Structure 1
């Protein structure tokens, strides 16, 4: 009696055969670097912590390397792909390499930055090798769009991974760090070498894991808090009293709001937590 061995995964030979069939020339514009190492995609799935109950969103599935590994574990995968050529080929790849799981995957031809809704059951996890040129905007957009997401793991450029997971006071702490912290507890989850990609990128890669948490406030809209964050880091070497003058209407009003929030008007944005920014936004209101 035979049992299913699960999906076959893509290695270097399979990736190059698929690319040749499609006459595919990966573009930097779309951040196309395809994973050719089965151990890497299995590691990503393992580190993500997804289970057989999870509905997973994947962004930029490309030729399907990570998609097939996700289908080994997840209950369902919704793959968002902006390239019509790749989106059109992916169902056939899944049918060939994971025939008994093909009905668990739905491919959505869309720009993840502009997608407004997804088909099927509400997703519980986001696991993706994000296009590096738009990784932060895509991540923040999906966290805002899909409140059902409970956790995730994304592969991004190493420096971006550092920024997303940075804490106040760090040299790389900035807008991505604060905005990601609105939605989730974020941590670095490892590094990925360049040789697992085709073509090999000219930057190092890192894994970022996150777990959803409740918003830090409901008293002011998220957009208002993010306005304060953007202003604070637009001139990150300047004191908050000066950079918030435009939002407050005057330097005096900015100082009053900061003092009401318990923040030194001469402090800088790089020293503040997401909760500090919330208190400032509430003071400005």
Structure 2
């Protein structure tokens, strides 16, 4: 079903009607380009049976693009004014699809449950300042999320998709890899937003995979955090506090088949899992 998506004039009119002045605090940069919306929906591989979780629908640009593609869109919006206006926007532009929309007035970082069927896809234009914690929180909270696509700051996109050995590889890279396979699917310029941000954006798609078994996620993440807290240090030194001493760290690392003189940036998520497992006396993952 084809519907008319919002353009620059629509966005500015909606904002003026609401007396809205976009704020940097909430990361409010609204998409004003319909082709970008179509591109996001296409690259997200949204299917007719998907229940899409959208974070920060704002004035409804992406929401209108998602409604024809999915069976249901659950839009989580922290701004009360925007959350109140969105149903009217959908009723005006896509009246036949209005029943597919569910709005949850909440902070995405605090959401622990959603109404209706569990979400299967995450598709969102995420505020730059909370993009990583939001994605990780939602993947942790909703195991039903099998795939998705997020638009984030270009630098964040690089971090979420980086592999071991690169300068931008770090905590977000490894923790995201715990949940899913990721790939960078494109860049987005500043001109498609109102107001235009001071940075470029990137599109990151993901497909959930089975997480490493045999050790709790919290324990693996503790190793990751410790390894990158002092990323210039060798793992023997960086993990000394976590393990109890440099000697204990070295013993654990060698048992996990990891070089104690290596640095965290050289390890993939499987290696971090082996370290966490060895610390608790279980057989290593090989």
Range of TM-score over shorter length = over 0.9
Partner of 1:267: 262
Report the 3-state secondary structure (helix = DSSP H, G, I; strand = E; otherwise coil) of the residue aligned with 1:50. coil
Q: Please list, as runs of the form range in 1=range in 2, the aligned pairs for 1:40-51 lying within 5 A after superposition.
A: 40-51=36-47
Superposition pairs of residues 3-42 of structure 1, within 5 angstroms: 6-42=2-38
Structure 2 gaps of 5+ residues are: 281-286
Residue aligned with 1:106, SS: strand
Counterpart pick for 2:60 among 36, 58, 64: 64
SS in 1 for 2:103: strand
Which of the numbers 150, 153, 165 marks the counterpart of 2:149? Answer: 153
How far did 1:72 drift? 1.8
1:41 deviation in Å?
0.4
Partner of 1:80: 76
Corresponding residue for 2:246?
Answer: 251
Q: Does 1:188 align with 2:178?
A: no
Deviation at 1:242, TM superposition (A): 0.6
Deviations 1:177-227 (A, max 9, x none): 00000000011010001000000000000000000000112x211011001
From 94, 108, 111, the equivalent of 1:112 is: 108
Give the 3-state SS of the residue equivalent to 2:25 in structure 1. coil
When the two chains are superposed, the root-mean-square deviation of aligned CA atoms in Å is: 0.7
1:204 aligns with 2:166: no
The alignment's TM-score, normalised by the length of structure 2, stands at 0.97
Q: Is the contact made by 1:154 and 1:209 (CA closer than 8 Å) also made in structure 2? A: yes
- Specify the alignment match of 1:123 in structure 2: 119
- Whole-Å separation in 2 of the counterparts to 1:180 and 1:151: 13
**Which TM-score applies when normalising by structure 1?**
0.97
- Residue 163 of structure 1 aligns to a residue whose secondary structure is helix
